[in-house]
Amino acid sequence: MTTERDILITEVALRDGSHAVRHQYTVDQVVAVTKGLADAGVPYIEVTHGDGLAGSSLQYGLSKVSDMELIEAAADVAGDSKVAVLLLPGIGTLTELKEAASLGAKMVRVATHVTEADVAPQHIAMGKELGMEAVGFLMMAHMAPIEKLVEQAKLMESYGADIVYMTDSAGYLLPEQVTERISALRQSLQCEIGFHGHNNLSMAMANSVAAIKAGATRIDGSVRCFGAGAGNTQTEALVAVCERMGIKTGIDLYKIEDVAEDIVAPLLPVTPTITREAITLGYAGVYSTFAYHAKRAGQQFGIDARDILIELAKRQVVGGQEDMIIDVAAEMARAKAAVSK
């Protein structure tokens, strides 16, 4: 029986939430969360390292268990739900994508910086060849004017993307900005439009609602806000809000609340909170995964993590440039020492 839905929610706690546990998910944890989400009626469940296929590395963080083991475990218990994977060209390759598909992944989300869609065509094409749903995932969407965002989204669509996402990776955008961007995409593209928000300025829910009103039919959520920075749009709250608005998600509210409370909450090292570092991420427009790295670098070099994040924003550092965080912190420490002499 097909469940009637007005929007389709992709649950990202097992991918974006990987950042929050420093990529230490176990097979048993992924199985338990996937079973709960599937039973609640979540249509898509994303499972990879926080930085996508092959993300496990010294630069991004080493996984406890390989992506492929987690993907296979999730696919085995997903039932009617579909397992999605994230792939950042230059980190993940076609080889990993083929393996993920062979293990049961049904959707690939090909993520690029908002101005670099042209690195994605072969990955989107391969996803389609493998029979997967293919998604263009434009990260750090606030860093490009609307015209450029539309141009890059149209490229993703031309490569064969079934859905194109506008991704507020920094939690920087405000609802009216989301409305402008999603509306422009809806007017310019034939494919479905999606939105992925972060809660660094406490705007994730408002931005997700704005996106839906402007024509987005694919929305990302994370149970218990489990994600990078201050986390993502909270899935269980999103389901409740949608029900209040008369928007069908096909997700059972009580069941998704129970997954969040009984299965996911015990996995959290800390409850996602809008900390001073998270606010700085959203205020300055910095990639949400940078908070932990900046805090660690700040402790190492005696520099306020907020100052490091502001400097990274000035230099327009983007996802994939995590190695720059240590360089910037060390440079700031040297400058601070020189002034104090």
- For all residues of the chain together, what is the average pLDDT? 95
- 8 A C-beta contact, residue 216 and residue 182: yes
Q: List pLDDT tens digits, range 70-112.
A: 999 999 999 999 999 999 999 999 999 999 999 999 999 999 9
Tokens of 33: 């969360």
List the domains of the chain with CATH numbers.
Answer: 8-267 (3.20.20.70), 289-340 (1.10.8.60)
Q: List pLDDT tens digits, range 3-49.
A: 889 999 999 999 999 998 999 999 999 999 999 999 999 999 999 99
pLDDT the model gives residue 45: 98
At 51, is the pLDDT very low, low, confident or very high (cuts 50, 70, 90)?
very high
Q: pTM of the entire structure?
A: 0.95
Burial group, residue 234, by CB count within 10 angstroms (0-12, 13-18, 19+):
buried
Residue ranges of the annotated binding site for Mn(2+) are 16, 196, 198
pLDDT the model gives residue 323: 85
3-class state of residue 153 by DSSP: helix
Residue 19 annotated to the active site: yes
Tokens of 221: 């959520």
SS3 for 312-331, per residue? HHHCCCCCCCCHHHHHHHHH
Tokens of 114: 């908002």
3-class state of residue 13 by DSSP: coil
- Please give the average per-residue pLDDT across 177-192, as a whole number: 98
pLDDT the model gives residue 13: 97
Residue ranges of the annotated binding site for substrate are 15-16, 169, 196, 287
Residue ranges of the annotated binding site are 15-16, 169, 196, 198, 287
Q: Which of 19, 49, 123, 142 is catalytic?
A: 19
Kindly tell me if the per-residue pLDDT of 1 is higher than 60.
Answer: no
Q: List pLDDT tens digits, range 132-168.
A: 999 999 999 999 999 999 999 999 999 999 999 999 9
